[in-house]
Amino acid sequence: MRTVWLGSAVVLMVILSGCGYNRFQSQDEQVKSAWSEVLNQYQRRADLIPNLVNTVKGYAAQEQRIFIAVAQARSQVGSIQATPALLNDPQAFKRFEAAQSQLTGALSRLLAVSENYPQLKSDQNFRDLQAQLEGTENRIAVARMRYIRSVQSYNVLVRSFPTNLTAKMFGYTVKPNFAVQNEAQLAAPPTVSFAPATPETAPAAAPTAAPAPAPAGAPGGQ
Please state, as a whole number, how many other Cβ atoms lie within 10 Å of the Cβ of residue 209. Answer: 6
Q: Which pTM does this prediction carry?
A: 0.73
Q: What's the pLDDT score for residue 79?
A: 94
Query: Which positions of the chain have pLDDT values less than 70?
Result: 1-19, 180-222
Confidence at residue 84, expressed as pLDDT on a 0 to 100 scale: 81
Q: Which domains does the chain have, with CATH numbers?
A: 44-150 (1.20.1440.20)
